[in-house]
Amino acid sequence: MEIRKGIAVSPGIAIARPMLIDSKDYRIPRRSILPSQRSREIVRLRKAFATALTELEQIEAAQNIEESKIRDIFAVHMRFLRDRSFRRRISDMVNNELVTAEYAVSAILREIASHFAGIDDSYISERAADIYDIEKRLLTHLLGKRQEELDHLREEVVILARDLTPTQTAGFNKSFVIGFATEKGGRTSHTAIVARSLGIPAVVALGDLSSEVSADSVVIVDGNRGVVVIDPDEETLRQYNQYARQMTQFISKLNELRDLPAETRDGIDVQLLGNIEFPNEAEMVIAKGGQGIGLYRTEFLYLYGGQEPTEEDHYNAYAEAVRSVGKRPVVIRSMDLGADKLPHSGWRPNEANPVLGLRSIRYCLQDLPLFKTQLRAILRASVLGDVRVMFPLITNLQELRQAKMILRDVMEDLDEYAVPYNAHMPVGIMIETPSSALTAGLLANESDFFSIGTNDLIQYTLAVDRANEHVSTLFSAAEPAILRLIRNVVQDAFKAGIGLSICGEVASDPEFIMLLLGMGVRTLSLAPPMIPEVKKIIRSVTIEECNELSRKVATMDSPRQIKNYLRDAATRILPETF
């Protein structure tokens, strides 16, 4: 029996024989063509794009993507394949540099992917997988190769692979593919999103798997604990079969909480909002019992496609999300990228450390046309519902005042053309740097609300790159320094009488919910799949119990001690999760 620990990305238990998939990675050498061969290569290129689009449409239709809440991932892929400027860029390379169609496809798509992969944000960097997915699909048709078909399956299997692309995952027949495990991957990759949407248990980042597995093996994929068991003994197999039955019952009970309030046993209301990246994910938030959108990340409007998004691109995306949630709040975060992270921007300063450079609100304040385009669209969407705007990475009062001044300028522009908008739209900021946390009292005087972004707050406070495997173990929300900063921000927001939420990964972690409530947090914005579990915890405790836990944690000086104490408390409430 071999037990491997990875990252749990989609809950559930799958027990079956394995099927190994060789994840093809075509390496295309540069090959020249004769001028007379240009037309032939362009025709091949057009056929590859047309076939790839047809293939995606067929997969989308077969999996009923409308109901699985992941149609936007396919829309992004198809938008890329249909984008004229992107296709022209490839054909121009064929014509001007006299290279084969497959080399032009590979070179340009990998250049785009490198922008994503180099971003010091695990969620954004994992988007490179989508670009490689498009590359593989095009090269499959240009090279006359076919990806492995799974249609012949007649028994349940768990898929084992080095990595999987989102559309590969969406193409699985759920009647037979009941789980998967990969050597690479991350919690926020699109493959993980697809797996959760389709309800396929999954564990990623397991390291080498193929050497441990044979065709006769039995594999257990534990998508709750992030564990894969290869060739389990009889007792382990019995325990997991029992655990799987218990989890089915547990999930059924959690789903019953959907329409119940997130209210503690002593009657204190807590607002549960969802974090989204694509407009259609707003529907998932509501389906899970969420009360609105607490963080709408807008970066992918910039990262995908062949050009920067227009005002209409922005507006249509925001309008779809707002209409999906009705009168519930939608907090739209302005663009949180840097010059080094915009594939279509012509101006890129040379920065040795872009994470500490021209990014986020700093970039927006230097590229006013880009910033104003987005603000116009947000303001136009503000008349459709309870829309709020949030500025990221504010580090001082001057930045906030500049951003608000530009927002007022945009309002005046809209007034000039009689374009309707909500003149009283709430304006908030993210607290995600030590400087903003320490001056929260000043910032609160000119903000309608705060949202604490714990991911960056931890990174900047502890000087730890969470994507760096050598120091990632030091990345912890249980560090006393982090908890003190959060307490201070909560207190300053309370004194100023403004709204406050937590929108980082800590808000999705069941271990931290009682502590956050004990600190005074009453609004959480979290990953939609985690809403039922967090609601269960809230409905199982009293505020006095949370206050007592918070006071106890404040006396501790070891992150390990704090983490263990929080886990023990959460386990007593949700033993099924731990």
In sequence order, the 6+-apart residues with CB closer than 8 A to the CB of 326 are 385
In sequence order, the 6+-apart residues with CB closer than 8 A to the CB of 561 are none
Distance from chain centroid for Cα 71: 15
The closest of 191, 170, 131 to 7, measured between CA atoms, is 191
The catalytic site residues sit at 190, 503
CA distance 314 to 317: 5
CA distance 121 to 504: 13
In sequence order, the 6+-apart residues with CB closer than 8 A to the CB of 361 are 334, 391, 392, 393, 394, 399, 403
Cβ atoms < 10 Å from Cβ of 211:
6
CA distance 524 to 228: 31
CA distance 312 to 304: 15
Q: Both tokens of residue 263?
A: 């209210």
CA distance 331 to 428: 9
Rounded to 5 degrees, what are φ and ψ at 127? -70, -15
CA distance 525 to 523: 7
Helix, strand, coil percentages for the chain (3-state, nearest 5): 50, 15, 35
Residue type, position 47, single letter: K
Cα dihedral 512, 514, 519, 522 in deg (nearest 10): 100
CA distance 79 to 131: 12
Q: Both tokens of residue 257?
A: 């909480």
Q: Both tokens of residue 420?
A: 């309707």
Q: Is 159 helix (H, G, I), strand (E, B) or coil?
A: strand
- Tokens 């992004």 found at: 76
CA distance 370 to 364: 7
In sequence order, the 6+-apart residues with CB closer than 8 A to the CB of 69 are 197, 280, 281, 283, 284, 287
The answer to whether the beta carbons of residues 461 and 485 sit under 8 Å apart is yes
DSSP structural state of residue 310: P
CA distance 13 to 156: 13
Residues comprising the chain, all counted: 578
Name the β-bridge partners of 259: none
